[in-house]
Amino acid sequence: MTLEIPESQETPTEAVPEQAAAADVAEGAEASPEEAAAADVAEVAEASPEEAAPAEVAEAPEADADVEEDSTEDADVVVPVTPASPYDLPGGWYVVHSYSGYEKKVKANLETRVKSMHLEDRVFDVVIPMEEVVEFKAGRKVTVQRKKFPGYILVRLYMDDDTWYAVRNTPGVTGFVGSASKPTPLSRREVERILGVREEEEPGAEKKEPTFKPAWEVGETIRVVEGPFADFNGVIEDINVDQSKVRVLVDIFGRETPVELNFDQILKY
C-alpha cells in the first residue's frame, strides 16, 4: 500500500548559497538612499562615550607637543641685563681733555672716527657728564642741564695702540688725563661718583629733585635790581641755598652795610 505525504508536512529543503546571496543583493537594492542615511545616523548615535573618548585622547599629545615647542622657544630668548654700576660694563673709563665749549662737537667727531676705523668692538661709549640744576633766569627758577666738568669727556674702551691713536688724534682732543703714553682708567669710586649708579625705581617713589647751584660765588660783586636797594652794587658775603637768600655788603653812604636779599633781586655785575 502506498502512503501519501501531505504538502504541508514535506521536509523543507535548504537554500542554495547562490540563492541566499541573490536574496541579500535584492534586499540591498530595495533599500532607498534615505533609509541608508538613517541607518548610518543610528550607528553613530549608538556609539558609546567610551568609544569616542580614545579619539579625543589621541589628539591631546599633539597639542602638548606644540606647548612644549613654544616653551622651548621662549627659554631660548635671553634678555641682556644692564649692570647697575657703569663700572661693570665692558672696557675701562678714561678721561679725555677737550677744548671747553666744544665737548659736543668733540663727542660727535670721536663717534664718527670710531665708526670709520671699525673700532665699535673696542670703543663703546663717549659721555659728557651732565647734571640737572636749578637756576634763576628773569626772576624765575628754571631747571637746566649743566656740564659737570667743562672741557672733559669720558670714553669707555679697551685700551690698545689702535684705540689710543683713534682718540688722541680726534679733532678737538688735547690728550688723555694722566700719563700721556699709558693713561690710567678711573676707579670704581670715581666712575660711580661721576656717572652715578642705576637704582630700581619703586612704585610711588618720589623723583629726586634737581640740585640748585647759584650763578654767583662768595666774594663776587653783584648788582641789586629790585627792592629798596635797587641799582646798588654789593659784594656777596654769604649764600643760603635752602632759603634762596644771599647776604650782600652794600655800600651805603661810604659804609658797607650787610643786606639780606632774595636770589631774584640780584644779577651778576
pLDDT, tens only, 55-76: 444 454 454 555 555 554 555 5
What confidence category does residue 244 fall into, taking pLDDT thresholds of 50, 70 and 90?
A: confident
Residue 53 has pLDDT above 60, yes or no: no
Confidence of residue 264 (pLDDT cuts 50, 70, 90): confident
pLDDT for the residue 8: 46
Please indicate, yes or no, if residue 128 is contained in any of the structural domains. yes
Mean pLDDT of 76-102: 82
pLDDT at position 165 over 90: yes
Query: CATH number for the domain including 246?
Result: 2.30.30.30
E-strand spans in the chain? 92-98, 123-127, 130-137, 140-147, 152-157, 173-176, 211-212, 221-224, 233-240, 245-252, 255-262, 266-268
Gap between the Cα atoms of 81 and 93, Å rounded: 20
Quote the strand ranges of 99-165, DSSP E: 123-127, 130-137, 140-147, 152-157
Residue 208 resides in a domain: no
Q: Which residue range forms the structural domain that includes residue 134?
A: 86-197
Nearest partner of 221 among 184, 175, 256, judged by Cα? 256
CATH of the domain at 185: 3.30.70.940
Q: Are 259 and 229 in contact (CB under 8 A)?
A: yes
92-98 and 173-176: which strand pairing? antiparallel
Query: Is residue 45 in a domain?
Result: no
Q: Are 117 and 166 in contact (CB under 8 A)?
A: yes
Same domain, yes or no, for 90 and 142?
yes
- Tens digit of pLDDT for each residue in 110-132? 999 999 999 999 999 999 998 88
- Look at residues 171, 197, 223 and tell me which one is the last residue of a structural domain: 197
Mean pLDDT of the chain: 74
Residue 9: pLDDT above 50? Answer: no
Which sign does the torsion angle of CA 226, 227, 231, 237 carry?
A: negative
Evaluate whether residue 161 is within a structural domain.
Answer: yes
Answer yes or no: do 170 and 245 share one domain. Answer: no
pLDDT at 23: 46
Q: Is there a domain that residue 250 lies in?
A: yes
Picking from 170, 197, 224, the residue at the C-terminal end of a domain is 197
Domain presence at residue 119? yes
> Does residue 261 register a pLDDT over 60?
yes
Alpha-carbon distance 41 to 182, whole Å? 92
- Say if 245 falls within a structural domain: yes
**Residue-level pLDDT at 229:** 81
Domains: count for the chain:
2
Looking at the fold, whether 157 and 92 belong to one and the same domain comes out as yes
Please give the Cα distance from 168 to 93 (Å, whole number).
15
